[in-house]
Amino acid sequence: MEQVSSLFEPIALFFYAFSLITLLVVRYSHSFLFRGFLILTLIAYFVFTTPLGANLIVDMVEIKEPAPLSCNTEKPSVVLILAGGITDSRKIRDPLARLKEESYRRLIDGIDFARQIKADRVLITGGHGIVKTESELMAFLARSLGYPAKKIIIDKAAMNTYSSSGTVSKILQDMGVDTVWMVTSASHMRRAMATYARKGLTLCAYPVNSKRVPIDFPFALIPQISALNKSTEAYREAMGYVYYALTDRL
C-alpha cells in the first residue's frame, strides 16, 4: 500500500506533469535549444528522484568493500570512528539526543567491529558541540554499550574531515601507530581516506550506513522523496570531494 501511495505523492505528480509538458513542447516547439533544455532537465529530475537513479549516483560515490587483503595481513589494532554531526540545540535536554543519525550509526557499527577484531584502542574524532563535543557524547554512548573506557581515546579538537586528519595523525604518531581501521559512512569514506592518506597514514576502510535505496520494480522508476534525499546526500559528498581536491586537501 505504501508503494502504491508513492504514485500520488507531490514529487511524483510533478514528474507526470513535467513529462507531459516536455512531450508537448517537443511535439510543437520549433526551438531546438528549449526542447533540449526541457529534455535534459526531465532526465536530471528522473535520475535524482527515482530509486533507480539515486542508486546510480550513490554507487559512484560510496566505498562499500570492507577492506583490501593488505588490511588483513597488517592487522591494525586501532579503530578510528569519525563523528557524523551533532545538533546544537539547547532545547534538547538529553545530550545523547543531540547526536545525528550518522554519528549513532558510525559509533554503534564501529564499536561492534572493534569487538569483532579485538581492537586495542578505539579513537573517536569530532569537535562540534556546545557543552559536550560529538566525540565526548559518542564515547559516553560507547561506554553505555559496555565498551571499556580505558580503550577509548577521543579527539575533540577536529571540526571537519581535513582538520581531524591533522589531529588524529598526531595522536597516532604519539602512539606509534600508522595503520588504522577507518569507520565512517560509505559515502564519506572516499574523501576521508584520501584526506587522511596525505598525512602518511595507511587506512583500512570499514564503511557503514550505505545510502542505497531498495529496488522494487516498477516503483523504482517513480520519483520518491527518500530517493531524492539519498541522491542529494551523495551529490553533496561528491561536491565535497571536488572542493577538497581543488583546495589541495587530498
Q: What is the mean pLDDT of residues 88-102?
A: 78
Name the phi and psi angles at 121, rounded to 5.
Answer: -145, 155
Cis upstream peptide for 218 (omega within 30°): yes
pTM confidence score: 0.86
If 0-12 CB within 10 Å is exposed, 13-18 middle and 19+ buried, where does residue 206 land? buried
**Could you report the per-residue pLDDT of 165-180, keeping only the tens digit for each?**
999 999 999 988 888 9
Nearest to 85 by CA among 128, 123, 143: 128
Whether residue 89 is predicted with pLDDT greater than 70 in this model: the reply is no
Instruction: Estimate the crossing angle of helix 186-197 against helix 51-61, to 10 degrees.
Output: 20
Give the pLDDT band of residue 65 (cuts 50, 70, 90). low
* CATH architecture of structural domain 69-208: 3-Layer(aba) Sandwich (3.40)
Grid coordinates given for 17: 506533469
Grid coordinates given for 85: 554531526
The rounded distance, in Å, linking the Cα atoms of 222 and 7 is 7
If 0-12 CB within 10 Å is exposed, 13-18 middle and 19+ buried, where does residue 135 land? buried
Q: Which residues contact 17 (CB under 8 A, 6 or more apart)?
A: none
Question: What are the boundaries of each domain within the chain?
Answer: 2-61+217-246, 69-208
Give the pLDDT band of residue 186 (cuts 50, 70, 90). very high
Whether residue 1 is predicted with pLDDT greater than 60 in this model: the reply is no
> Which has the minimum average pLDDT: 9-18, 27-36, 89-98, 107-116?
89-98
* Residue-wise burial string across 4-32, b where 16 or more C-beta atoms lie within 10 A, e elsewhere: eebeeeebbeebeebeeebeeeeeeeeee
The rounded distance, in Å, linking the Cα atoms of 70 and 201 is 14
Name the phi and psi angles at 185, rounded to 5.
Answer: -65, 150
* DSSP string over 99-159: B-HHHHHHHHHHHHHHHHHT-SEEEEE----SSS-HHHHHHHHHHHTT--GGGEEEE----
H and E: helices and strands count for the chain: 10, 5
